C-alpha cells in the first residue's frame, strides 16, 4: 500500500514530475490508501466579498484516473459552500486533464458578505477511483491555499524516515501478487 496518504504536500514526483501550479505544495484528493479508494476533503472558512468584481472563486485542478471507470455510481470532485454543492465534476477517464492544469471558477455572488464554509472534496463510490490535484485557490484575487485544512478521510501517518514511500500505488489498485 501507499505509505503516504497525506492530502497536502509536494506530490510532483508522484505525479510524473508535474509541478504545482503555484509554489511547491498542492492538495491531492482521491486515489487509494492501502488499496482502498479515498474519500477526503479540505476546507476553510472564508468571507465572500461584497464587491461584485471580487466574488469569483478560482482554482486549478489536474484530474487523473488510471483505473477503469466504475459502472455506477461514479466518483465525483465537488466544491461546496455550507455543504451545498456549487460545482460537480465527474472523475471518469474521459474527464482526465493530466498532465495539464485546468482553471475552474465558481460565482459566489449568492453568498455576498457572508462567512461561509468552503470545502473541496472527492467522493469515491465504487471499487476504483480517480485523483484530483488542486492548487492556486483564490477568491477576489486573494490566495486561500495556505489556510486549507484536511477535514476528513483516511490519513495514516507519513512514511517513517528511511522507509521509501510508494506513491504510484495511490493512483491504481495494486495488481494481485503472484503466488
In this predicted model, what pLDDT tens digit does every residue of 59-115 receive, in sequence order?
999 999 999 998 876 799 999 999 999 999 999 999 999 999 999 999 999 999 999
pLDDT at position 49 is 94
Q: Which residues of 98-132 are buried (b: 16+ CB within 10 A; e: fewer)?
A: beebeeeebebeebeeeebebbbbbbbeeebbbbb
Say if residue 165's pLDDT is above 90: no
Predicted confidence band at 155 (pLDDT cuts at 50, 70, 90)?
very low
Q: Given phi > 0 = left and psi -120 to 50 = alpha, else beta, which region is 14?
A: alpha
Tell if the pTM clears 0.85, that is, is over it: no
pLDDT at position 4 is 57
Which residue bears the cell 465525483?
Answer: 76
Predicted confidence band at 173 (pLDDT cuts at 50, 70, 90)?
low
pLDDT at position 163 is 34
Predicted confidence band at 151 (pLDDT cuts at 50, 70, 90)?
low
Nearest Cα to Cα of residue 101 among 22, 4, 8: 22
For the purposes of burial, counting CB atoms within 10 Å of the CB of 141, is it exposed (0-12), middle (13-18) or buried (19 or more)? exposed
Q: How far apart are CA 171 and CA 68, in angstroms?
A: 12
pLDDT at position 141 is 78
pLDDT at position 58 is 94
Amino acid at each position: 500500500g501507499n505509505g503516504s496518504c497525506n492530502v497536502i504536500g509536494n506530490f510532483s514526483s508522484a505525479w510524473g514530475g508535474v509541478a504545482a501550479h503555484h509554489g511547491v505544495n498542492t492538495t491531492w484528493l482521491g486515489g487509494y490508501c492501502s488499496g482502498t479508494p479515498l474519500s477526503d476533503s479540505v476546507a476553510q472558512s472564508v468571507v465572500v466579498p461584497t464587491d461584485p468584481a471580487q466574488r469569483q472563486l478560482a482554482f486549478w485542478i489536474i484530474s487523473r484516473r488510471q483505473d477503469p471507470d466504475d459502472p455506477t455510481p461514479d466518483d465525483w470532485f465537488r466544491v461546496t459552500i455550507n455543504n451545498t454543492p456549487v460545482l460537480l465534476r465527474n472523475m471518469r477517464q474521459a474527464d482526465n486533464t493530466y498532465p495539464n492544469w485546468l482553471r475552474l471558477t465558481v460565482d459566489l455572488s449568492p453568498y455576498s458578505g457572508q462567512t461561509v464554509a468552503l470545502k473541496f472534496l472527492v467522493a469515491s463510490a465504487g471499487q476504483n477511483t480517480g485523483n484530483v490535484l488542486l492548487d492556486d485557490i483564490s477568491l477576489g484575487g486573494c490566495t486561500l491555499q495556505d489556510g486549507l485544512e484536511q477535514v476528513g478521510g483516511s490519513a495514516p501517518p507519513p512514511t517513517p524516515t528511511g522507509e521509501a514511500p510508494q506513491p504510484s500505488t495511490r493512483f491504481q489498485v495494486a495488481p494481485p501478487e503472484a503466488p
